[in-house]
Amino acid sequence: MTLSPQLPSSPALPEPGFNFAYLDEQTKRSIRRAALKAVAIPGHQIPFSSREMPMSYGWGTGGVQVTASVIGQMDTLKVIDQGADDTTNAVNIRRFFRKVCGINTTERTEEATLIQTRHRIPETPLREGQIMVYQVPMPEPLYFIEPSRTEANKMHALEEYGPVYVRLYEDITRFGHIAMAYDYPVMVNDRYLMKPSPIPRFDNPKLHMNPALQLFGAGREKRIYALPPYTKVKSLDFEDHPFTVETWDQPCEFCGATDTYLDEVVTDDQGSRLWICSDTDYCNQRQQNNHLLTPTLS
C-alpha cells in the first residue's frame, strides 16, 4: 500500500432526474422528524420509515438515508469504511452522494463537515459543527436477551438493564475478562443503554463528550438514534473489572503511530503479517509529515 492520491473533490452538477440527495422531500421530512426526536432523547431509538435504497441492506442504507436527509449544498462529505477512505463501500457511497448532490467530498477528517462511517471513529479529534453518521446493522442492545421489540421497549422504559451486566459477568467467569471487542454497549446520559454500532472498543472513549453531533441510522431495523455533542457516554463495566481498550505491542508499520487502532494484514502464506493504522487518512497524513521531517532528522 502506498499513499493514495487525493480523489478529485470539486463539485459537479448533480445527476438530472433525481431529487437533491436522492430521497423525495416527504421521506426526508419523516426522517428529519425522527432525527430531531433522537437528538432530544439521547441514546433512545426512534422508529422511522426506512426506504428502499439503490444498494442492499448491510451496505449502509440507514446511514445513507440519514446522510441524505441532513446533507446540504455547502457540506463537504467524507465516507469511511473500517477507517479507510478507499474501500468499496466508502468509495461507492461517496460517489453516490457526489452524483445525487454534486457536493464536495474529501478524505481529510478536518475538512469534512459530514462524515459517514462504517465501524470506526477517525483518529483525528472531531470538532464542533461536524456531524458523524454511523451505519448500524443492529441497533437494539437487548436483542440477544429479548428478541421482541415491544418487550425490549418496556425494558428500556423500566431501565431493566441487569441482564446485560450478567452477559458481561459471564464473559469474566469464562475468560477472566470482558471479551466483547466491538459494538461494546454504553450507557448514554445515565439513562439509555445504546449500541455504538460495531466500532472497536478502542473507539468507545471517543463517544464520551465528543464536540461533534453523532447520528446513527439502521436501515433494515428502521431505527435512528443520536448522541448530541457533549453527552455523557459510559462503557459498561464493573468496579473490579474496569473498561479497558485494546493495545498493541508494535507501532504502525507505515507511520509509526503507537496510539491508533491497528489492523492486522497477512502478507504471505508463511504466517508473516504486519500491523497498520486502520484510519488511512490519519496514517497518510502522518507519513507525509514524517517524510517532510526526515531531512532535518537525518
When asked if residue 153 is in the footprint of other proteins (CB under 8 A), the reply is yes
232 is a contact residue toward other proteins (CB under 8 A): yes
Q: Which of 43, 62, 83, 219 is catalytic?
A: 43
Q: Based on CB atoms, which residue is closest to other proteins, 42 or 219?
A: 42
Of the residues 19, 244, 288, 289, which one makes contact with other proteins according to CB under 8 A = 19
The whole-angstrom separation of Cα 278 and Cα 84 is 6
The footprint of other proteins on residues 77-136 (CB under 8 A) is: none
Q: Which is nearer to other proteins, 36 or 265 (CB)?
A: 36
State yes or no: residue 199 binds other proteins (CB under 8 A): no
CB of 201: closest distance to other proteins in angstroms? 23
Query: What's the N-to-C CA distance of the chain in angstroms?
Result: 25
- Render the burial of 214-246: b for 16+ CB within 10 Å, e for the rest: bbbbbbebbbbbbbbbebebebbeeeeeebeee
Q: Total binding residues for other proteins by CB under 8 A?
A: 42
In contact, 209 and 230? CB cutoff 8 Å? yes
143 binds other proteins (CB under 8 A): no
The answer to whether 42 contacts other proteins (rule: CB under 8 A) is: yes
Told to check if 228 binds other proteins by CB under 8 A, we report yes
- Give the span between the Cα atoms of 252 and 292, in whole angstroms: 18
69 binds other proteins (CB under 8 A): yes
- 180-to-116, 129, 157, 243 alpha-carbon distances in Å: 24, 31, 25, 11
Inter-CA distances, 271 with 71, 148, 166, 249, 268, Å: 45, 44, 38, 17, 6
Residue 277 falls in the annotated catalytic set: yes
Catalytic residue among 60, 102, 255, 256: 255
CA distances to 117, 178, 209, 276, 287 from 77, in Å:
11, 36, 23, 25, 23
Ramachandran assignment for 190, one of left (phi > 0), alpha (psi -120 to 50 degrees), beta (any other): left
Task: State in angstroms the smallest separation of the CB of 233 from other proteins.
Answer: 10
Concerning whether 43 is annotated as a catalytic residue, the answer is yes
State which residue, 164 or 215, has the beta carbon closest to other proteins. 215
CA distance 217 to 60: 8
Which of the stretches 50-58, 156-164, 195-203, 236-244 binds other proteins when contact is defined by CB under 8 A?
A: 156-164
Looking at residue 261, what DSSP letter applies?
-
Catalytic residue among 62, 252, 256, 271: 252
Nearest approach in angstroms of CB 223 to other proteins is 11
If one asks whether residue 156 binds other proteins (CB under 8 A), the answer comes out as yes
28 contributes a contact to other proteins by CB under 8 A: yes
Helix residue spans in the chain (DSSP H): 25-40, 61-70, 88-101, 149-157, 162-175, 204-207, 280-297
Cα 272 from Cα 282, distance rounded (Å): 25
40 binds other proteins (CB under 8 A): yes
Q: Is 245 in the site for other proteins (CB under 8 A)?
A: no
Cβ 55 to other proteins shortest distance, Å? 22
Q: What angle do CA 99, 103, 107 make, to 5 degrees?
A: 100
- List, by residue number, the catalytic residues: 43, 252, 255, 277, 283
* Chain contacts with other proteins (rule: CB under 8 A): 19-20, 25-26, 28-30, 32-42, 44, 46, 69-73, 150, 153-154, 156-158, 189, 191-192, 209, 213, 227-232
